[in-house]
Amino acid sequence: MQVKLPLAKPEIIDTLTSWTPLSYKFNQAVDSLFWWCVELLKVWGDVTGLGYNLLNILVFILLQPALILLFFTLWVYEKNKRRGVHYG
C-alpha cells in the first residue's frame, strides 16, 4: 500500500464544534500562539539568512531532541549520584 503525501485534512474536523465557550477561547489562544511562533521563526530565518524551513529543522529536529537527551542524562546522573553510584 502506497500513501501519497500530503494527506488531506479529514472533512469531519471542520464540522466539529466546541461544546463550551472556554474551550473555544482556549483553541483561539493556542492558534494565536502557534501563528505568533511561526512569524517569529520567519523573522529569525530572515535575520540569520537560514530561512524558515532550515531554522525549523534546526530547532525542532536537532536542538529540541538534543536538549531532551542532555536533561535526561543529567537527571540520570544526579539520580545515581544521590544513590551513591560513582562514575570513573
Write down the pLDDT at residue 84.
79
Alpha carbons 88 and 85: distance in angstroms, whole number? 10
C-alpha cell at 78: 544526579
59 found inside a domain: yes
**Are 63 and 45 in contact, with CB atoms under 8 Å apart?**
no
64 found inside a domain: yes
33 found inside a domain: yes
What's the average pLDDT block by block, 10 residues per block, for the chain (88 residues)? Answer: 60 65 79 91 94 94 97 94 73
C-alpha cell at 20: 463550551
Q: Which domain holds residue 39?
A: 20-83
Write down the pLDDT at residue 31.
87
Q: Which residue is associated with the grid cell 461544546?
A: 19
60 found inside a domain: yes
| Whole-structure pTM value | 0.59
Please calculate the CA angle 53-39-30 and round it to the nearest 5 degrees. Answer: 110
12 found inside a domain: no
14 found inside a domain: no
Please calculate the CA angle 73-88-66 and round it to the nearest 5 degrees. Answer: 20
Domain count, the chain: 1
6 found inside a domain: no
